[in-house]
Amino acid sequence: MSAFLSRLLVVAIGAPIVLGALWLGGWWLFVLVALGSVVALHEFYAMARPLRPLVLAGYAGAIAALVGAKLGGVEWMLGGFLSTLVLAFLFFLVATTRAPATAAISSTVFGAAWIGFGLGFLLLLRAVPDGRLAAFTVIIAVWVDDTVAYLIGRAVGRHKFSPAISPAKTWEGFVAGTAAGVFAVFVSLYHQDFLSIADSIVLGVVVTVAAALGDLFESAFKRDLEVKDSGRLLAGHGGVLDRVDAFLFALPAAYFTIVALT
């Protein structure tokens, strides 16, 4: 099966699951986010194995952050995440394989913060007033942005966006993807009482730019760790982390932008 066909298959199977969980919300969405977080963390810690991350502490801290987000909002999410620091140090004290504390604990905490916090904001976004609409809008905008950027970049892209980090990305793809993502937000929120037209455009710009930065952020780590994909679970899509990297920046950016605008 070609990479393109495998991408289509993953989208055909995965998109209804994600959208269905977003529609239902509650613990259905929590379970999906928690599973995605654990798999993405597993992929990150596998890539960062030379740093000897304390993976059990990272899993526990990320799940604690998600439980906090589900039960008590931003403050509890922060409180849950902070348990990662304590757990990482405790596991470091009893670890049989010694590694520098700076590398082991930092990589552990970083993974839990990057992935646990990033996906935790989807739970927070779903909980705001009109949260179902907000969550659908952001998820679809990032998908549209990513798809259009990929297609236009492959078709007519000539000018490299960040050749040192991600040589495949082009300015043509970035501009087209950003415009498509902003348009997706505008269409989703048009004739809704949630945000004004101007605010919808602001949200679209914030989400698409944050998504592009989130993608580049993961690319920088993969290049540093000399890996192409975070995993092979999703075939042509790579790993779960490769699919959620844009959301890890876009979701927090969208949440705080919506809070500021409403």
What is the Cα 94 distance to its own chain's centre? 32
Query: What total number of domains does the chain contain?
Result: 2
Per the domain annotation, does 199 fall within a domain? yes
Please write the tens of the pLDDT for every residue from 204-216: 999 999 999 999 9
Q: What is the pTM assigned to this prediction?
A: 0.92
142 near 250, Cβ under 8 Å? yes
The answer to whether residues 61 and 167 belong to one domain is no
The answer to whether residues 173 and 101 belong to one domain is no
Q: At what angle do helices 131-156 and 118-127 cross, to 10 degrees?
A: 130
pLDDT at residue number 28? 95
The answer to whether residues 158 and 115 belong to one domain is no
How far apart, in whole angstroms, are the C-alpha atoms of residue 48 and residue 112? 13
CA 156 to each of CA 39, 96, 244: distance values in angstroms, whole numbers, following the listed order: 34, 53, 25
The answer to whether residues 150 and 238 belong to one domain is yes
Please write the tens of the pLDDT for every residue from 38-62: 999 999 999 999 889 999 999 999 9
Please write the tens of the pLDDT for every residue from 60-109: 999 999 999 999 999 999 999 999 999 999 999 887 767 788 899 999 99
Helices marked H in the chain = 3-24, 26-47, 55-72, 74-94, 101-111, 118-127, 131-156, 171-189, 197-224, 240-244, 247-261
Per the domain annotation, does 10 fall within a domain? no
Per the domain annotation, does 74 fall within a domain? yes
Is the pLDDT confidence value at 154 over 90?
no
142 near 213, Cβ under 8 Å? no
Decide which of 127, 159, 194 is a domain's last residue. Answer: 127
Encoded tokens for 142: 């990032």
DSSP H/E element including 170: strand 166-170
Per the domain annotation, does 5 fall within a domain? no
pLDDT at residue number 188? 93
Decide which of 92, 127, 162 is a domain's last residue. Answer: 127
37 near 115, Cβ under 8 Å? yes
Decide which of 89, 106, 127 is a domain's last residue. Answer: 127
Parent domain of 261:
130-262
How far apart, in whole angstroms, are the C-alpha atoms of residue 157 and residue 149? 9
How far apart, in whole angstroms, are the C-alpha atoms of residue 184 and residue 148? 11
The answer to whether residues 113 and 135 belong to one domain is no
Average pLDDT over residues 127-155: 93
Is the pLDDT confidence value at 226 over 80?
no
pLDDT at residue number 6? 62
Give me the residues paired with residue 170 across strands: 160
pLDDT at residue number 161? 82
